[in-house]
Structure 1
Amino acid sequence: MSDQKTGGFIATAITSIAHFLTEARKQPALSEEAGYGASPNLPKPKPTLIPIMKIAPAVGWPEGKKPTPAKGFAVEAFASKLDHPRWVYELPNGDILVAESNGPARPPANWSFRWWAQDFVMARAGAGRPSADRITLLRDADGDGIAEIKLPFLENLHSPFGMALVGDQLYVANADALVRFPYVDGTTRIDAAPVKVCDLPSGRNHHWTKSLVANKDGSKLYVGVGSNSNVAEYGMEEEVNRAAILEIDRVTGVSRLFAGGLRNPVGVDWNPVSGELWTTVNERDEIGDDLVPDYMTSVKDGAFYGWPYCYFGQIVDERVRPPRPDLVAKSIKPDYALGSHTASLGLCFADDGRLHERFRGGVFIGQHGSWNRNPPSGYRVIFIPFTDGKPSGPPEEVLGDFRSTEGKALGRPVGVIIDKKGGLLVVDDVGDIVWRMRAV
């Protein structure tokens, strides 16, 4: 049998088995809202032999259709016809940078059934295309909420993601290295060669994105690095400086582990009240529809948050061998659960009331959406209120209907920021759009 036919047979078999196992369950699933808050009610784990696939096939937006905003708000496409946009950053002059990116090609030597299954899922979910390896500049010069200028700003990168401007240097977190470029205010293109600041963990790239944020004085840069596995099935030697946030000295390039045990920390932002660094984390799979909840949490210097040995505090994951009771004992419980398998990626604090006064101090989360949960979860942007720098209420959907009534993915939210003009920018990597939500 040819490799192509073999791959097709395996794909069909996996889909059929997944469908059978999903439909055969006797007990009703918890509601989509299960697994949120500071103290979620978590069920017992139900390990599976293979991942259950409940993928919303990526189809994009039909002409004239768009996501549904909260009452009192409107949404329009700020920019469209992008190439798998993932992350967004605003420059001081109001120009918007969008990282058009996908995971780097996996070396042939890294082939395995697990990796093949992951690639299959990614392709069905809309991520099965080569990386554009580009950052594009969007400019709304006339202030109407739609970018009339769209230009390639940086090209020939390597799966770029996080961006941060410090002084006249623009830092970009590629999949394998942190690099910098000279920046002049108002420029629409950079052709200078990148200067490497430091290497970043790469390799198998189970999680390839590298988020980035600078501290207030610009002396330190913080990079979110995901794990190389689900629960360290390839050994902890594959996880050095991964499942962590790294602190990098901007001048010397020297890095250190700032916090660990964070399976896949993606969104990073500073809490405007407490001054703490916060992150969104995608948790582990294959122990049930309602485990383990993704979360957001403040990140303390030197802290450990459990992965892979335990989750949501000190609940031991019995799959991990050898166990580490010493690390379980020191594991910190996250601040707020964001629902199981929601793929909560983007995180943005509302440091003032320019979008709307009721959002001041709270946080917006872009939930990319599940690929292995019944019923599906995520596929929306939510807001969580904060009081005195801490979460203080349930989530509110502010931009939804990214899935059709037939269960197809019209779009999938990733990065979120509030722009200087008071709009919420939402990157949609299936619709290839940056949406802009504003008060009306």
Structure 2
Amino acid sequence: MVLQPPFKTESANKNSRTINWPEGVTPKAPEGFTVTRFADKLDNPRWTYVAPNGDYFVAEAGTRKSANQITLLRDTDKDGKVDERYVFINNLNRNFGMLVLGNHFYIANTDGVYRYPYKAGDIKLEGTGEKIVSLYAGGYNNHWTRNIITNKKGDKIYITVGSASNVGEHGMDAEKGRALVYEANPDGTDLKIYASGLRNPVGLDWNPVTGELWTAVNERDGLGDEIVPDYATSVKRGGWYGWPFSYYGKVKDPRWAADPHEDMVKKSIVPDVPLGPHTASLGLVFYKTGNFPSKYKNGAFIGQHGSWNRSKLSGYKVVFIPFEKGKPKPAIDFLTGFIASDEKSEVYGRPVGVAVATDGSLLVNDDSAGIIWKVSAK
């Protein structure tokens, strides 16, 4: 991939403004799919976790204003609509990732990972939980999200932590424990860096064919309209992905010209799939089972929350990465229609989290509109 030189265009600032979805209007999916509201009237529903028993847990949290709670949703009669809704837990600290493992429910708050006693079917968590991993929560808190998943054996957990700055402008001491993926035992012991140099890794999932860990990464700002591309990539154990000294592998960031860290640049890994500049690609889920057409099997859906550092809006959609024998192809648009007017910088919503429902439909968290959309094959 050939990248545009840095500073070819000025660094733009174009924040979007969310307006209401018009009556009867939904995001647009390809032919053969229908889009409906699975749940609405949520308070910044950033992420959805589908528990092994089919319960849906929604993290309601945000950057500036945060509900700091998890809502439990149930579709008890399996008609594709939410029948039951409970406040599962509140008074959290910018909560995001969730996980059921054994007899515990894990919550990744911005300051650490907590686990609570839990059994399938519980509608409320009690107590304050046990903090098993402490995480640094200061700095550039737009990168407050902490995701968590487990492996197939259930004997390890993996935790994402975004950077404390755009490009290390506060010094690298402020980046200790940031811009990386951790690995630990389920009780938080034996905490290790699994991979680093990832500016803001958020979505995590396992490639169902190769078994590789994958993540979606929100890259840096300030170099112009067309760079740096966000990306989805396999995450190699011990891998270094360049941030903040280089981007897209070994392309040096000019803001580190006085101290280029040549040794770090040389070992930087080129990510697998570029996803466009400033798209805020955050959500990621592999489509492993369900009734979508066969071309979607084992591919990955990516939620793009949308740009602010670009003169023309980018992102604000869900894209799909087809895979063939475990290897990715270029991303294509899947769910669009979120931008109301580029000229007015108005959007109907901002897609972020993506998850696969128990019936094989795709759930898309539209956090700014307070809606979870459901995309079903006809």
Please tell me the TM-score bracket, short chain as reference: over 0.9
**Aligned residue in 2 for 1:420:** 358
Contact 1:206–1:227 (8 Å) recurs in 2: no
Q: How does 1:44-59 map to 2 (within 5 A)?
A: 44-46=5-7, 51-59=11-19
- AA matched with 1:89: Y
Corresponding position of 1:62: 22
Identity of aligned residues (%): 48
Higher deviation after alignment, 249-258 or 193-202: 249-258
Structure 1 residues not aligned, in runs of 5+? 1-39, 104-127
Correspondent of 1:228 among 164, 169, 174: 164
Structure-1 separation of matches of 2:80 and 2:295:
21
Call closer, same or farther: CA 1:322–1:223 in 2, change over 3 Å.
Answer: same
Which residue of 343, 351, 364 corresponds with 2:288?
351
Residue in 2 aligned with 1:242?
178
What's the TM-score once normalised by structure 1's chain length?
A: 0.83
- Distance in 2 of aligned mates of 1:46 and 1:201: 32
The 1-side partners of 2:171 and 2:209 are apart by: 39
- Return the structure number with greater strand share: 2
Q: 2:3 maps to what in 1?
A: 42
Q: Distance in 1 between matches of 2:345 and 2:246?
A: 33
Query: In the superposition, relative to structure 1, how do residues 69 and 307 fare at CA in structure 2: closer, same or farther (>3 Å)?
Result: same
* Equivalent position of 1:275 in the other structure: 211
Distance 1:350 1:435 in 2: 16
Once the two structures are TM-superposed, the CA of residue 60 in structure 1 deviates from its matched residue by 3.1
Encode CA deviations 1:172-199: one digit per residue, 9 max, x unaligned: 1000010001111112111233111110
Q: Which runs of 5+ in 2 are unaligned?
A: none
Instruction: Give the TM-score of the pair, scaled to structure 2.
Output: 0.96
Query: Cα distance 1:206–1:81, how it changes in 2: closer, same or farther (>3 A)?
Result: closer
Give, in whole Å, the separation in 1 of the partners of 2:357 and 2:158.
22
Q: Cα deviations across residues 251-306 of structure 1 (Å, max 9, x unaligned)?
A: 24331111110000011100000101000011111111000000011001111000
| In 2, Cα distance between equivalents of 1:411 and 1:377 | 13
Runs of 4+ in 1 over 3 A off after TM superposition: 353-356
Q: Contact 2:232–2:274 at 8 Å: present in 1 too?
A: yes
**What's the counterpart of residue 103 of structure 2?**
168
**Which protein is bigger by CA-based radius of gyration?**
1
> What secondary structure sits across from 1:54 in the alignment?
coil
The CA deviation string for residues 140-196 of structure 1, in whole angstroms up to 9 with x for no partner, is 111111112111011111100001111111111000010001111112111233111
**Equivalent of residue 338 in structure 1, options 269, 275, 290:** 275
Aligned residue number for residue 291 of structure 1: 227
1:363 corresponds to 2:324: no
2:16–2:346 Cα contact (<8 Å) kept: yes
Matches within 5 A, 1:80-229: 80-103=40-63, 128=64, 130-204=65-139, 205-229=141-165
Q: Work out whether residues 219 and 251 of structure 1, in 8 Å CA contact, stay in contact via their aligned partners in 2.
A: no
Write the deviation string for residues 309-365 of structure 1: whole angstroms up to 9, x where unpaired.
001110111202522000001111111101011110100001134333221010000
Q: Are the counterparts in 2 of residues 87 and 98 from structure 1 also a CA contact under 8 Å?
A: yes
Counterpart for residue 404 of structure 1: 340
2:224 aligned partner, one-letter code: G
Q: Is residue 340–residue 346 contact of structure 2 (8 Å, CA) maintained in 1?
A: yes
Distance (Å, rounded) in 2 between the aligned partners of 1:179 and 1:403: 37
- Aligned partners of 1:252 and 1:155: how far apart in 2? 23
Helix, strand or coil: the match of 1:327? helix
CA–CA distance in structure 1, aligned partners of residues 211 and 253 of structure 2: 32
CA contact (8 A) 1:83 1:101 kept: yes
Question: Normalized per residue, which structure has more helix?
Answer: 1
Measure, in 2, the Cα distance between the counterparts of 1:252 and 1:223.
Answer: 10
Distance in structure 1 (CA, Å) of the matches to 2:34 and 2:332: 16
Q: CA RMSD in A?
A: 1.4
Q: Deviations over 1:206-251 (max 9, x none)?
A: 4110011111111111111110111100000000021111112212
Provide the residue aligned with 2:252 in structure 1: 316
